[in-house]
Amino acid sequence: MLLKLDNVKTYYGNIRALKGISIEVEEGEIVCLIGGNGAGKSTTLMTISGILTPVEGNVLYQGQSIVAVRPDNIVQMGICQVPEGRMIFPLLTVMENLDLGAYLRKDKDGVKEDFERIFRLFPVLRERRKQHGGTLSGGEQQMLAIARALMARPRLLLLDEPSLGLAPILVDSIFETIRQINEQGTTILLVEQNAQLALQFSHRGYVIETGEIALADSSAELLKNEQVKKAYLGE
């Protein structure tokens, strides 16, 4: 088991954002978290990343508890998050953004290899490598945000709303690249408002409602689930 959340409860002040969720992610999977706004999806990712600390429960990565481990150490352990809203550095160039993704790495040859991998995955970033991040289109900024995370060479990639604000044609392209990243060996935990898309591109899924797991199944079964269809697929 690569990642396991066991009865995790996370608060914002007195607000119980996560009320005891348990999820598992196996090596090599794409697992999605779907649910409405405020359900606790992003809170789950931030709890895994160490940005938030649970008040109860445990987060296990490769069998080791990472509760209270500093976020930078969690990155070094192999977990990297692409935040909602991209959060690139707009005044830095594409190359400078990518360099920051590799900040904790010492293997210069490996970093050089990963630059080439990134440019194969996202050819437009090679063309834009000297541009400031803030001058890129929304789709290009999302590509840069994912690429920056990949420069840390994560074993587990956390993606928070990668389709947010993008045109449909770009969304399809981004998700095809996410599938390719997974096929190249990176495990992915995906939070996505577009439930149809998330379930189409993942192996398994969890439905989170008001800080609790309401359903868990293979993505194929969740796509056929009448409750999911009515609440999240507009059917």
Angle between helices 168-183 and 138-150 (to 10 degrees): 10
- Measure the CA–CA gap between 157 and 151, rounded to whole angstroms: 11
Per residue in 136-186, pLDDT (tens digit) is 999 999 999 999 999 999 999 999 999 988 888 889 999 999 999 999 999
Q: pLDDT at position 176, please?
A: 95
What separation in angstroms does the CA of 13 have from each of 37, 55, 204?
19, 11, 32
pLDDT in tens, 178-220: 999 999 999 999 999 899 999 999 999 999 999 999 999 999 9
What are the Cα distances from residue 165, in Å, to 7, 162, 191?
Answer: 32, 9, 15
Q: What is the pLDDT of residues 5-60, one digit of tens each?
A: 999 999 988 899 999 999 999 999 999 999 999 999 999 999 999 999 999 999 99
Question: Is residue 235 pLDDT above 80, yes or no?
Answer: no
pLDDT average, residue stretch 95-118: 93
User: pLDDT at position 165, please?
Assistant: 86
Taken in order of first residue, the domains within the chain and their CATH numbers are 3-232 (3.40.50.300)
How much is the pTM? 0.94
pLDDT of residue 234: 81
Instruction: Give the mean model confidence (pLDDT) for residues 71-97.
Output: 95
> So what's the pLDDT on residue 105?
87
| β-pair partners for 79 | 156
Percent of the chain with pLDDT over 70: 100
Predicted confidence at residue 102, as pLDDT, reads 94
